[in-house]
Amino acid sequence: MAMNFLDKIIGAIDPKAGAERAAWRAEMELRAHYDAADSGRLQSRWTVTNQPAEIENEFDRDIVRARARDQERNSDVFNSIARAFRRNVVGPGIHVRVTAKDKATAAELERLWALWCKPRNCDVTGTQSLNQMIRMCVQRKVIDGGVLILKRYTRQGILPFQLQVLEVDDLDTTQMSPKAKGNRIVGGIELNSWNRPVGYWIRQCTPDGYGILPSVYVEAKDVIYYRSKTRPTQIREMSDMAPTITRVKDINEYMNAAIVKEKIAASLAVFIKKLNPATGTFGSRNQGGGAQDIMYAGKRIVPGMIMEMNPGDEAQFLEPKSQGTDATTFVKLQQRMVSASQGLSYEATSRDMSETTYSSARQGLIEDDLTYGEEREAFEDIVLDEIYETFVISCWLAGKITPKDFWDRKDEYMSHEWIVEPRQWIDPYREANANKIALETGQKTFQQICSENGRDWKKVIDEIAEANEYAKKKGIQLSKVVYDEDSIDPPEGKDAQEEDEEGANTEDGNDESAEEGADAQKSDGAE
């Protein structure tokens, strides 16, 4: 162990203290089994502490959210990530398939759901459909870290139930007095002794946003708080983009600098080198003819121009070197790292497929689907299921559905599954052939394939049956046309006719065999 300057001085003045200092330092170095825990020269400025999540996030949450929103407004790279989640978690839309055993009630719930999802029925503002609202919620969760969805009971739509979407900024962080004794308030959320949210304190403002009114307490059963929870002690949200904000900002600044540099490189700059610096000043004259010297200030180079210069003047052109290739490589590397931090591929966020093959695109899509699947699962469990269950109860309370045993069999009537619009295939032939093989080998069921394609398997079978029935009436064997095979249900009378023909052929064959046996016996007798 090398001694530094201070150790040498202490050892010279007090050898005992110096020896103890050296022993303690050696002990500390032995304890640093992990490089990440090393406190040497390279990590000397890396000072961290272990604290509960809320203590770590409380003072940084607002500034991180503000910077994330700034990048949302100004960064195309930042928006590419947010839109990737928005496009793939929700996509064209999410639909419900009611799986209740009561088919009549299930059909009525599906009809009412499709009607309720219209802007005038599901949104208290009447401006967004349900799919538009949930797309906005996904984007706000990625950028802000979370979003609040309040259940409102109004008379504005077909049901006494609508939704109000609020930003996490509306949580009153200044509220300190809990509504119930024994509770505590953290970041505008009232918690019980188990840290379970029991209510939310919502700030109230005037319509212009400047006037502040007393906060309103909303019970937790009427609030859907959608956010990611990464630590057990976490209460409030933190932006999903927090690890990448600084890197995205660096990309933007680098791109702006590169653009300015390229603009300068694309410009034609000219410098006039004068033999006599005094020549060409205001009021000066040439010695020979007495004419005024040519002035270059304010003049521009235009196509086809011819200009005479002063004697001795020399034109020099500025040609700055471009580094477009280096900029492209740097930006690609940075964007790959930004995408990877969010669990996505470079192609998913950049839309750059120049270096992609079918195999790499398929593998990247599989990995991306895992990330989107996690988000979709959380969104369905936290948001959509809660909305749908409240919707079903509202339908029953409003008399839209009338099963008498509703409360006794509530879970059965609420049974459902979510159908996501299918993604587009990279290679339709390969994908379809893979599904066919998976179905034939039992690796997938027909229900799974239909669900992956955003279809209800029962409706698919109904449509196929309807098409076959219609084709049969028109005298067309649809299975022969579509599947290149005989019809499953042959025309009436064909089976009997074929059996008669097969029986006749069999009898004829037996007669021929008998005749051949008789002829053989006659031949043997003659011999």
Reported as a single tens digit per residue, the pLDDT across 435-451 is: 888 888 988 888 888 87
At residue 321, the pLDDT reads 64
- Distances in whole angstroms, Cα of residue 300 to Cα of each of 183, 263, 268, 317, 417: 75, 17, 10, 13, 70
Burial of 336 (0-12, 13-18, 19+ CB in 10 A): middle
At residue 211, the pLDDT reads 65
- Contact at 8 Å (CB) between 332 and 346? yes
- Contact at 8 Å (CB) between 89 and 138? yes
| Confidence band, pLDDT 50/70/90 cuts, at residue 194 | very high
Question: Which residues 6+ apart lie within 8 Å of 468 measured at CB?
Answer: 478, 479, 489
Query: Residue type for 98, please?
Result: V
pLDDT surpassing 80 at residue 297:
no
- Contact at 8 Å (CB) between 219 and 199? yes
- Contact at 8 Å (CB) between 294 and 309? yes
329-363 per-position pLDDT tens digit? 888 888 889 888 888 888 888 878 777 777 777 77
b/e code 449-468 from CB counts within 10 Å (16+ = b): bbbebbbbbeeeeeeeeeeb
Using DSSP bridges, classify how beta strands 223-227 and 146-152 pair: parallel, antiparallel or unpaired: antiparallel
**Which contacts (CB < 8 Å, 24+ apart) does range 111-114 have?**
112/158, 112/159, 112/395, 112/400, 112/401, 113/388, 113/391
State the average pLDDT over residues 189-196. 94
Pick the range with the lowest mean pLDDT from 61-65, 71-75, 490-494.
490-494
At residue 499, the pLDDT reads 44
pLDDT surpassing 80 at residue 305:
no
At residue 129, the pLDDT reads 95
At residue 46, the pLDDT reads 81
Residue of higher predicted confidence among 467 and 480: 467
At residue 386, the pLDDT reads 96
* Alpha carbon distance 338, 349 (integer Å): 9
| Confidence band, pLDDT 50/70/90 cuts, at residue 258 | confident
Residue of higher predicted confidence among 62 and 351: 62
Parse the chain into domains and list their residue ranges.
5-48, 244-341
Mean of pLDDT over the chain: 81
Pick the range with the lowest mean pLDDT from 145-154, 358-367, 478-487.
478-487
| Confidence band, pLDDT 50/70/90 cuts, at residue 91 | confident
State the average pLDDT over residues 234-243. 93
Pick the range with the lowest mean pLDDT from 69-83, 480-494, 498-512.
498-512
pLDDT surpassing 70 at residue 515:
no
At residue 422, the pLDDT reads 66
35-54 per-position pLDDT tens digit? 777 777 777 778 888 888 98
| Confidence band, pLDDT 50/70/90 cuts, at residue 524 | very low
Phi, psi (rounded to 5 degrees) for 282: -65, 125
pLDDT surpassing 90 at residue 109:
yes
Phi, psi (rounded to 5 degrees) for 96: -105, 145
CA angle 93/97/98 to nearest 5° reads 140
State the average pLDDT over residues 463-469. 85
Instruction: Quote the distance between the C-alpha of residue 382 and its chain's center.
Output: 16
* Alpha carbon distance 227, 239 (integer Å): 9
Residue of higher predicted confidence among 233 and 508: 233
pLDDT surpassing 50 at residue 500:
no
At residue 380, the pLDDT reads 94
Max mean pLDDT range (175-179, 386-390, 480-484): 386-390
Please state the pTM of the whole predicted model: 0.72
